[in-house]
Structure 1
Amino acid sequence: MKRLKLEKWIGFIVSGLLFFFISFPILSIDEVYKKKYALVIGIKDYPFAPLRNPLHDSKDMTDTLRKLGFKVKMMKNVTKKQFEVAIRDFGRKLVKTKGVGLFYYSGHGVQYNGKNFLIPVDAKIEKEYDIEYEGVNLARLLSEMEHADNRLNIIILDACRSNPYSRFFRDGEARGLAPISGNPSGTIIAYSTSPNNVANDGYGKNGLYTQELLKYMRVPGKKIEDVFKDVRISVKKLSNGRQTPWETTSLEGDFYFVPIDDVQFLAAGGNLIYPTSINGKWGYKDKYNNMIIPPQFAAAEPFVDGLARVKVNDINYGYIDRSGRMIVKPYLQLFFEGLAFVKINRKYGYINKEGKIMIQPKFDMAGIFSEGMASVKINDKYGYIDRNGNVVIQPKYDWADIFSEGLAGVKINDKIGYIDVRGHFVIPPKFEYASSFSKGEALVKMNNSWGSINKNGNVTYWKSMDY
């Protein structure tokens, strides 16, 4: 009888264990890493200091993450309440799934008393200590991730742009984000520039940091640490050393945005190749480790739309196709509106993406195209040309910015004003500093005071520095 009871109890225990393992399977690291969730936030339309790139950055990051298998919630121009609710909900999602968590933010971010704050669109900051009440403390996100106790968290902060609130700080400095110590285990935090420094918003579709990150995230077989390392090297070079991205990490395992054997990222016919370095020279391999394009370049970037940018010497870049054939000869800069300025025999002209010269090199200096026009320097003065190379605004300025929302800042006699597309002054030259217009407003400086103006030149906000 006792033996039967014992066998009965053993049967119950075995059945229970079988039910547990069938109902609640133990996930391998690979299976956990397949559960990937991202919260992407971009804030551009700040009333006082609008930014150029965050909405483009967040949209492109969302598209890329979804292609990489993440489930993404994207939000733009969020208020403080919306921001904090989103962080809370994101934390709850990670608690339930135990998967990979990724948080990406593009917008203003500042440090105060050694703490980092992300600035929501409705922040009203008029005093230094307002930041603590109006901003979103990054520690809230870290706390949610630590509570989730998941295997891996990635935090990407393209939030170190010039601090628009520096005039409210007692020392007047425009500090970027502060380094964070004591990260939750399994966390990597990536900053667009080094601690306590600031980065530029950029003039292209994306900010420089996000632009490069989007490229290297898609390279197969790269560990996440190597992705950020490549981004750091590229951004530092493209910014001439003015911007150096930074990371802190407490990762314990390996994570790949694109695993080398992930079939969903194979191009048609398995024609996926990626950059690799051998003895200081770069070439391209396929997923089977076959060398497709021999190492010959000083640097190489991933293929995008069938073309890859390669560095052929210390300063010159070109574009190659998948066979290694140079499609765009190595003397180009970045493309804007389909054209890039090039320097040939000490003169500047423009080429298209096929490498064909569209505007002959004849200018002393050249800027990027924006809204169909580019600034050029002729006989020590700046004017504007159209996409055909015709001078549409005569060269008479000491400096000329890009056109944005129909207006461009130009300098005469050390003062900056704004002209329209016909070259007529809409806002007279009276500023010591003037940014491009964004969302109908521009940041300006006059008589040691900062403020914002609208497109009629009327002040929308002003703050004297005399205190």
Structure 2
Amino acid sequence: MSGLLRFLSVPKSAALLALTLLLTASSPAQTTSARLIPFRQGAKWGYADQHRRLVLPLLYDEAGPFVQELAWVRIGPLYGYIDGGGNPVTPVHFTKAGTFARNRATVELNGETFQIDGSGRRLTTPPEPEPETEFLTQGDLTRQNGKVGFRFTVGQAVVPNVYDEILEDYNGLLFVRQGAKWGVINNKGKLTLPLEYDAIRAVEANNFVLPVVEQQGRFGYLAEDGSLLVPPKYRAAEPFVANVARVTTQDGRTGYIDSRGREYFD
């Protein structure tokens, strides 16, 4: 699994069921929302607005996030794509489906893996290479006696050479490691999160913001100021995609949270 793509696998079966599933599931909602979040009630999924009000009905057995106004949905063992009004963009016939990224998504149909565009058409050209980015943008690393520090380009803040590793996000936060533990320093050189965490995972696809934090096998998220957005409490947590993230609770319930940490499942 890489970047924005979450690839889903199901058994290669029930092909004859696809048309029936599509017809029963796609009573199109005519209201289009600019921001819809996958919402689960019991075993069924729909989409809610940012106030947790259901906008697209609970028609699906699983649902993915809207990216470029397109989202994958699962009915039974098969997947398809809908738009922001709940209207089908493709038939529900794929045995694998990925979230859209850079105007394309990876799917599997009849045992063949390929990519489609936003209208569901098969793409024959490879994606353009990812642009090269420089991770350290706020200053420079300093080294002394095998330890690492940091000097910010703007301002007078200097982080002493006492760390074993330093990474930076696009908000000017530093993720610092001493031994096996990680913490966070802001752009004024202040420790905003103590060195108590087992891992901090930021991804370029999300501009290195709202990273996942791990502590004793539980997962949460950092806010943009380096404090905890969500304390480590989930069994599993995926990186944010289009301001939503997929999480699994300790009792095995799966759903999404938004960039405020609000849960969209019951």
Going by fraction, where is helix more abundant, 1 or 2?
A: 1
* Higher RCO by CA contacts (8 Å cutoff, separation 6 or greater): 2
Please report the TM-score for the alignment, with normalisation by the length of structure 2: 0.47
Q: Taking structure 1 as the reference length, what is the TM-score of the superposition?
A: 0.29
